[in-house]
Amino acid sequence: MGRGKALTDQEHWWIIGLHDGGVSLHEISRKTGRSRTSVRKAIKTERGPQSDSGGDKPSAVRRAALTEREVRLLVRTAATGEHFAAELKTKIGIKASVCTVRRILQRRDHLVYTKMDRTLPLTVAHKAARMSWAEEDILNPGIWQYTPAHSFVRRQNGGGSVMVWGA
């Protein structure tokens, strides 16, 4: 269903030979006078899918957010277990996001994630004060017993209806 003439056997094998010689698709199409699409299809049927570039150049890769040195420093600091991701980011002074810091730490096998307790530990004085408060109010519930429970209906579907029978 193409618009041009089909490739002859001679053209087909010429294209394959040029391709095997390391010539790019663009250059092959220029030499043969055929479109790049027809050249690509001829190569694909014979050798499998191929990109437009002729050489084996590595494709452009996105730069890493952190250098290897920064990653090592981050992992070493995180191994102490005293900081969370946001603190690590500010303490080390890296420009990567907190999500990136978490992702890097998550990929390390020797580090295990533990959720940090974000409350201050209770001292002996705190515990004694809580116990004395509880002992005072356990025998005299007072205000706790008679206050009505706060209950609010949050859903209301439709309106009410009234039926009147009369003449």
Residue type, 27: E
Average pLDDT over residues 94-113: 92
**Confidence class of residue 51 from pLDDT cuts 50, 70 and 90?**
low
* Number of residues written out for the chain: 167
Q: How far apart are CA 19 and CA 120, in angstroms?
A: 70
Q: What separation in angstroms does the CA of 8 have from each of 42, 112, 119, 124, 149?
A: 11, 64, 79, 93, 90
Q: Can you give the pLDDT at residue 93? A: 93
Q: 75-100: per-residue pLDDT in tens?
A: 999 999 888 899 999 999 999 999 99
Look up the pTM and report it.
0.41
State the pLDDT at residue 142.
Answer: 66
Averaged over 97-120, what is the pLDDT?
Answer: 88
Does the pLDDT at position 24 exceed 70? yes
Whether 118 contacts 86, CB under 8 Å: no
